[in-house]
Amino acid sequence: MTPYTATWLAVLAASAVCFATKLAGHRVPQHWLAQPRVARVASLVTVALLGALVAVQAFTTGDAVVLDARAAALAAAAVALALRAPFVVVVVLAAVVAAGLRALS
């Protein structure tokens, strides 16, 4: 098998896994969700994953924890969110801050 074919197989297999995961979630028995504990855990899991994704996206490069222009951009985004700025404004502001800082340095 050529590396190209192997990559294609991996693309298709990973896509299948991800779709199966989504579908499995939709087919979970309803009564599992009736428990307040499950709803509470699900709610907090969302918070935890988003928090971790913020951290990983903003403060890591590969396997290193780094502090760079993204941190300043994230701080600007946080201020914008605190001021109730629309989502699009928050996202664009972060890009502008990061790009600006990188252009200056």
Partner 1 sequence: MVGPHAILLRVPPADDARAVRRAVVRQAMSVAVATGVYGISFGALAVAAGLDLAQTVALSLLMFTGGSQFAFIGVVGSGGAPVAAVATAGLLGARNALYGAVMAPLVRTPGLRGLAAAHVTIDESVAVANAQPDPPTARLGFWWTGVGVFVLWNAFTVLGAVVGDALGDPTRWGLDAAAAAAFLGLLWPRLGGRAAQGVAAGAVVVALLLTPVAPAGIPVLAAALVAVLAGWRTPPTPTLGRRARPRADEARPGPEGVPSA
Residues 43-72 that bind partner 1 (CB under 8 A): 43-60, 62-65, 69-70
Per-residue binder mask for partner 1 (CB under 8 A), 81-100, x = binder: x--x-xxx-xxxxxxxxxxx
Would you count residue 79 as binding partner 1 (CB under 8 A)? Answer: no
Q: Alpha-carbon dihedral of residues 70, 73, 77, 80, nearest 10 degrees?
A: 170
Distance CA 54, CA 91 (A): 13
Of the residues 36, 83, 104, 105, which one makes contact with partner 1 according to CB under 8 A: 36
- Cβ of residue 62: shortest distance to partner 1, in angstroms? 8
Give the side-chain half-sphere CA count within 13 A for 100: 9
Residue 62 region by backbone torsions, left for phi larger than 0, else alpha for psi between -120 and 50, else beta? left
Q: Residue 2 Cβ, how far from partner 1 at the closest point, in Å? A: 12
Which residue in the set 2, 31, 37, 104 belongs to the binding site for partner 1 (CB under 8 A)?
37
